[in-house]
Amino acid sequence: MFIGAQVSLYPMTSDFVGVILSGLEALSPYKDQLRIETDDMSTLMVGSPDPLFDATRDLFARAAQGPAHVTMHVTYSRGCPGEPDDPTCRCDTLTTAQDLTLDRRQQLARDAVRDAPVLGVEIDVQFSLYVLGQDRHMDEIYGCIDFLKESGTFLRSKNFCTRLRGDAGAVFETVRQAFLRFGPAEGHVTIDLTASANSPTAR
C-alpha cells in the first residue's frame, strides 16, 4: 500500500517565509520515519499513518503558535492504485480494520480522540472523506459522520464537508481516525482538508 500526504502552508503575514520554515522545522523528528520532499508548491510526506498525521499536526501547530492567521491545505491518500506499494507505509490499524464491525470501529476512534495529546493550540478544520471505488461507500461515510458527531471536536456539518474545532491534538486525531477506520482496508481512501488558526474573523 502507498500512504502519503501533500501539504501546503499559507501564513497571512509579511514574514511568511519565517513561519513556513518554522513549520518545516517541526518535521525534523519524523525524517527517519517518513520520506519528506519539499518544493515551491507543497511538501510530500510518505509513510505509515502514525508519523504522517503526527508530522502534519506538528507542522501546523508550530506555524499556528504565532499571532498570524495561518491556513494549511492537505490531501491525504491511502491505497491509490496508481502508486507502487511502499514497505514504509505499514499500518496495523488497517490490517485488522476489516475484521471489526462499524460500531466497534467507531468506538475505537472515539477512544483514540479522547486519549489524544493536548498541544495548547486551538484550530479549526474542515474536511471531506472520499471512499473510492467501493459499492455502498456511503455506509462508510455515514458511519464516519456519526463518529465525528460524537468525537468531541465536531462543530457542524456543511455542504460537502464537516467542520471540526478544538485543540490541534484532538482535531488531528479525529481526522486520523476518519482516515483509518472508515472505508475498505485495502481500498483507495482520500481526505481533503483545510486547517485554520488565528483567524481575524469573529467566531
Residue-wise pLDDT tens digits, 3-32:
999 999 999 999 999 999 999 999 999 999
Does residue 26 form part of some domain? yes
Does residue 73 form part of some domain? yes
Q: What is the CATH number of the domain that holds 97?
A: 3.30.70.930
- Could you tell me the pLDDT band of residue 71, with boundaries at 50, 70 and 90? very high
Q: Mind listing the pLDDT tens digit for each residue in 147-186?
A: 999 999 999 999 999 999 999 999 999 999 999 999 888 8
Does residue 135 form part of some domain? yes
Report which residue type is found at 41: M
**Average pLDDT, integer, range 118-133:** 94
pLDDT of 135: 66
Does residue 202 form part of some domain? no
Q: Which pTM does this prediction carry?
A: 0.94
Structural domain for 57, as ranges: 3-197
Does residue 54 form part of some domain? yes
pLDDT of 41: 94
Q: Identify whether the C-beta of residue 200 lies closer than 8 Å to the C-beta of residue 166.
A: no
pLDDT of 90: 86
Tally the domains of the chain.
1
Does residue 203 form part of some domain? no
